A and B are shown apart, each in its own frame.
Chain A
C-alpha cells in the first residue's frame, strides 16, 4: 500500500460542495470522496486527451488503452460514444472487397 502524504490545497466553495455531496451520496468520508473524484477525474482527463489524439491521427486506439488503463474494447466503445468515425472511404471499401474475391 502506498504511504499517504499530506497535500494542502485551497478549494472553491462549489468544489467543496461537490466533495460533500459525493461523500453523502456514496456514504463515505470527505477524504475518500475527494480521492475517488481525483482518480475518476484523472482517468477521464486522460481519456479525453488521448481520444483527441486518436481523432487527430496522432496515436492508435491501443495506445489510448495503454495510457488510460482501460481495455481496448472499452476504448473502442468510448471512441464510438465520442462520435469518432472510422476513416474507411467507399473507394477503400471496394478495393478491400476486391482483395478478398
Chain B
C-alpha cells in the first residue's frame, strides 16, 4: 500500500479495521513519507505511527535497484516506487491512489486497488457500519478526489 492510500484510509477512520482484515504491508519509505506529517501535527500521521508501534502495520523491504529504476522511469518518489517494486517482486496486489503509481502498476500488470474499494469491501464484509461507511465515502470524495460517478457507484453498493 502506498502513502496516499494509507493517509486516505486513516483520514476516513477505517485504516485500523483494514489492517485487521487484510494482509497490508508498507515499505519504510512509505512509512517515512506519512511520518513527515507529524511535524504538522496531522492526525493521520500519529495514527499510522501508533499502529506501527503496536505491530498492526507490517513493514516490508524493497529492492533498492528496482526502486531506483522506477524512480527514474516514472518520476516518482521513493515511497510510490518502493510500493510498486514490492508488488512486482511479491506478485501481489497494489493499493495506490496516485495516478503515476497506478500507471506503473498497470504497465507491470499488477492487480490494482484504491482506498474507496478497500472501504466499500469492509462494509460489504460487515466490518464497518453503514453510518461509518457513509462518513468514510464523504471524506474520500473530498480528500481522495474521486469523480462523482465513482462516489455514486460506491453509494449504490451500500444500499
Contacts and interface: CB of A to CB of B under 8 A. Distances in A.
Tell me whether A and B are bound partners: yes
Contacts of B76: 59-60, 62-63
Given A60-B74, A60-B80, A90-B153, A100 B44 contact: no
A5 interface: no
Interface stretch (A28-36, A38-46, A50-58): A50-58
Nearest to B40: A71
A62 B37 contact: no
Interface residues of A, number: 34
Main secondary structure of the interface of A (DSSP, over half): helix
B37 A73 contact: yes
Contacts of A65: 33, 36, 77
Interface in A43-98: 53-54, 57-63, 65-66, 71-74, 76-77, 79-80, 84-88, 90, 92-97
A30 to B, nearest CB: 30
B99 A72 contact: no
